[in-house]
Every structure is written in C-alpha cells, then in structure tokens.
Amino acid sequence: MDAISVIRTKRDRGRLTDAQIDWVIDAYTRGEVADEQMSSLAMAILLNGMDRAEIARWTAAMIKSGERMDFSSLPVPTSDKHSTGGVGDKITLPLAPLVAACGAAVPQLSGRGLGHTGGTLDKLESIPGWRALLSNDEMMDVLRNVGSVICAAGDGLAPADKKLYALRDVTGTVEAIPLIASSIMSKKIAEGTGSLVLDVKVGSGAFMKNLADARELASTMVGLGTDHGVKTVALLTDMSTPLGLTAGNALEVRESVEVLAGGGPADVVELTIALAREMLVAAGLPDADPAKALADGSAMDHWRRMIIAQGGDPDAALPVAREQHVVTAAESGILTKLDAYAVGVSAWRLGAGRARKEDPVQFGAGIELHAKPGDTVTAGQPLMTLHTDTPEKFDYALQALEGAADYAPAGTEFTANPIVLDRIS
C-alpha cells in the first residue's frame, strides 16, 4: 500500500478498508508515512467523516500500535475521567485526588493543550519540580501509595496517537469526531482502567458546538469503550462560558487548590462533584461521598501527596506573569454572555497555549475573570485581567475579545445554562 492511495480514498469520500487503516497507522508510527501525508489524511477525515466500523478499526489499530497496561494487581477498583477540552477546564486537578480519597484508584493519563483549550499537563508543569513523564513502574507505585496519578501517556502506550495528537493541534483537524473519539478511547482502553467517565463539552468554547454533535461523539466513545470491556458513561456539559474564573496554567492550578481547600467557584465545585459521583458509581463505590471528602480535607491531603510523589512542591510559589492588562465592562447592567471561545483564544494568544507542537507555554499567562454571566456590572468596572510575560501580545489578545461580552438592562431576567446538559450510557 501507499499513503497517496489511502488519502485519495478518503478525499473522494470513500470508505477505508480494514487493511488500509491497519497499514496507514502502522506505517505512520514507524515513520514511513510522513507528517504532511498524515495531515492530508486527517483533513480528509475531518471533511468527509468515517462510519462506525471505520472508527472502531482505526481505534483498534491505534491500540495495537503499542502496549496495554494492567491494573488488576491493585487492591481497589480503577476509574478514570477524560474531558474533550474546554476553556478554564481544570477539573482533572481536584477530581483525581478527590476520587482517590473516596476509595478508587485514578490512573489519569492526560495531554497538553490543543488549540484554544488548555492542557492538564501544561497546568501541572507550572508547579516547580512536578514531572509529567513517569515510567509504568513509577505510575504503579504512585497509584499504590497515593491512589491517584496524573501523567503523560508513555511512549509505549498508543504511540500512533501520540504522534497524531500533536499533529492535529497544528493542522486545523482537532475537531474531527472520528479522530477525537479514536484518540481518547485508544489511550483509555490501552491504559487498562476498569471504568471511564467522559466529560463531553458543548458550546462555543468546545470542539463540539451543539448538542447533536456532542451526542454523536459521546455515543461513539461510549460504544467503543463498552465494546472493549470498559464500563463507560458520558456527561454532556456546558462550555459556552469558561469554567471557573481563570483560564491559563498557573492561574488554574491556584483555583484548583482553592476547590480542594473547600472554596473555589461554584461551577467548578459542582462539576467536580458530579463527575466524582459518576466515577465512583462506575467503580462500584456508590456509597462514597465526594462532597464530604472535599469538606474534611482528605481530598487536599491526596493532592499534596500526589504532587510530592511526582517530584513537585505543593507549597512552592507558582509562576506569575510580569505584565497585566485590565479589560473593563463596556456597559452597566446584567452580563448575559462571556464567550468561552473568545476567552480561550485570547489566553492562547497571551502565551498560555502553543502555535506549534514544539513551542513552550508561558505558565503565568492567561485570563482572570472578575464577573460571569448573570452578574450585575457597572460600566468601567474590571471585567477581566489579562496576564502575560510579553506585553506586545496584548493587542492581539484583545482583538479576540471583541464582542465576547453581551449586556442587558439591570433587572432583566437571566437564566444560566445548567452545567450538566445530558448523560449517555
């Protein structure tokens, strides 16, 4: 076979055969298919789609490209969570230690930022000394001793996905449902977790802009997990507005610690507890109470132990950007919209994300929100603060925020979207 024939098949809206899929994934992993060729195929998949059988075979080929992990030796059940990506989505940080404090083991393999959405590993790497790269033995040790681990997928776990994940970020193909589903599920199935809860984001700041697309993605992933023996459920959650009050690496770590300390924004707390309950039920621990574990400090204790176990200092000062710029409210009244996509792009332009897969991120860069939809504001009051080490980025970041906020006269009735929009199992 050859890459050009495979590309042409999908370009011309044909169906890839099992043999074509197996060959192209294997050849790309070995370097026989070049990045520019896989970029072309990924774009063809984005534009023309894949049927259910193609996605299943693509996922199986990704799993087959590497090793599979086994957590059966652990004395407690395992459960994991994956988010499809959003703005201000720091939920993994408080969630993993919270679920561990309730009696399940959480082997959380996470990724870096994709496009305008932040990456869990980028956030945690703002903690001095913290390591994302662990060997399989190190990962098992942290799980046994702490109960939760957040780390990068090792080179041996779905290596085809590791290459393709970074490529999608810089080629405009992140949003392809077949590639999202196969990327997530190949890693999670190969990871070996016993159960999985998917947080599928919906709205302007998500890759799925509407409920119909989100349901399609969620149903595809739930089916892939179930077919491979992993108990899988999905929550569809709102991403029309940023989660919490921060978007950016170190800023989101600070907010996550506030949640673990019993505070933090209400929407972050609500979603963290909702996902924790789903994970615990899926793991066979329906009587565990995550709200109690937040209140009594046990979740914070697990957080500190997890950070220390991965070389980090939970008491160290986090990076702070050298420059700030305050954006003020344009009108007085009720803030009715704060567009998540606009905030995400602005934070990315400030340095919180990367334009090329090899680019570094600024740990202190990002956006701090001072109001959310439903709040009453006065013209001229601070609406958000932009943070960056490179002030020449401010103008470009501000362009992304044009039209991001809408207002209504004071007294106007306003109802925010619920955090959890639907559940698919």
Q: Which of 81, 82, 302, 393 is catalytic?
A: 82
Per-residue pLDDT, 157: 83
Instruction: Return the SS3 of 90.
Output: coil
List beta partners, residue 323. Answer: 388
Burial class (CB in 10 A: 0-12, 13-18, 19+), 49: middle
Question: Region 51-72: what's the mean pLDDT?
Answer: 93
User: How far apart (Å, rounded) are the C-alpha atoms in residues 93 and 57?
Assistant: 32
Instruction: Look up the CATH architecture of domain 80-309.
Output: 3-Layer(aba) Sandwich (3.40)
Q: Is residue 375 very low, low, confident or very high in pLDDT (cuts 50, 70, 90)?
A: very high
φ, ψ of residue 138 to 5 degrees: the values are -65, -40
Per-residue pLDDT, 74: 95
Is residue 168 annotated as a catalytic residue, yes or no?
yes
User: How far apart (Å, rounded) are the C-alpha atoms in residues 172 and 175?
Assistant: 8
Between 354 and 296, residue with greater pLDDT: 296
Tell me which DSSP letter residue 269 carries.
H
Q: Which of 22, 80, 161, 169 is catalytic?
A: 161
Q: Which of 182, 183, 240, 346 is catalytic?
A: 183
Tell me the C-alpha to C-alpha distance, in Å, between residue 91 and each of 103, 137, 199, 249.
19, 26, 10, 13
pLDDT digits (tens, 9 = 90+) for 219-263: 999 999 988 889 999 999 999 999 999 999 999 999 999 999 999
List beta partners, residue 199. Answer: 83, 235
φ, ψ of residue 385 to 5 degrees: the values are -120, 130
Cα angle 307, 313, 317 (rounded to 5 degrees) comes to 125
Question: Region 208-223: what's the mean pLDDT?
Answer: 94
User: How far apart (Å, rounded) are the C-alpha atoms in residues 356 and 9?
Assistant: 29
Cα angle 33, 38, 42 (rounded to 5 degrees) comes to 160
**pTM confidence score:** 0.90
Q: Give the least confident one: 122-126, 190-194, 371-375, 390-394.
A: 190-194
Per-residue pLDDT, 245: 98
Mind giving me the DSSP string for 223-262? Answer: HHHHHTT-EEEEEEEE-SS-STTEESHHHHHHHHHHHHTT
Per-residue pLDDT, 63: 95
Is residue 201 annotated as a catalytic residue, yes or no?
no
**Number of C-alpha atoms within 13 angstroms, CB side, residue 329?**
25
- Helix or strand holding residue 338 (H, E): strand 333-338
How many C-beta atoms lie closer than 10 Å to residue 210's C-beta? 11
Per-residue pLDDT, 355: 73
Contacts of 333 (CB under 8 A, 6+ apart): 376, 377, 407, 408, 409, 410, 412
Q: Where are the domains of the chain?
A: 3-49, 80-309, 323-408
Is residue 161 annotated as a catalytic residue, yes or no?
yes
How much of the chain, in percent, has pLDDT values that exceed 70? 100
Instruction: Look up the CATH architecture of domain 323-408.
Output: Alpha-Beta Complex (3.90)
As a whole number of Å, the end-to-end CA separation of the chain is 38
Tell me the C-alpha to C-alpha distance, in Å, between residue 190 and each of 72, 109, 386.
14, 11, 39
pLDDT digits (tens, 9 = 90+) for 100-133: 999 999 999 888 886 788 899 999 999 999 999 9
pLDDT of residue 264 exceeding 90, the answer is yes
CB 257, CB 265: distance < 8 Å: no
Smallest CA-to-CA distance from 298 within 97, 107, 96 is with 97
Q: Which of 187, 215, 277, 349 is catalytic?
A: 187
User: How far apart (Å, rounded) are the C-alpha atoms in residues 404 and 35?
Assistant: 35
Q: What is the dihedral of CA 230, 177, 214, 109, to 10 degrees?
A: 40
As a whole number of Å, the CA-based R_g of the chain is 21
How many C-beta atoms lie closer than 10 Å to residue 413's C-beta? 6
Contacts of 413 (CB under 8 A, 6+ apart): none
Per-residue pLDDT, 387: 98
Cα angle 121, 238, 186 (rounded to 5 degrees) comes to 45
Tell me the C-alpha to C-alpha distance, in Å, between residue 333 and each of 97, 245, 375, 384, 412.
40, 20, 8, 16, 8
Q: Which of 57, 90, 112, 168 is catalytic?
A: 168
User: How far apart (Å, rounded) are the C-alpha atoms in residues 242 and 408?
Assistant: 20
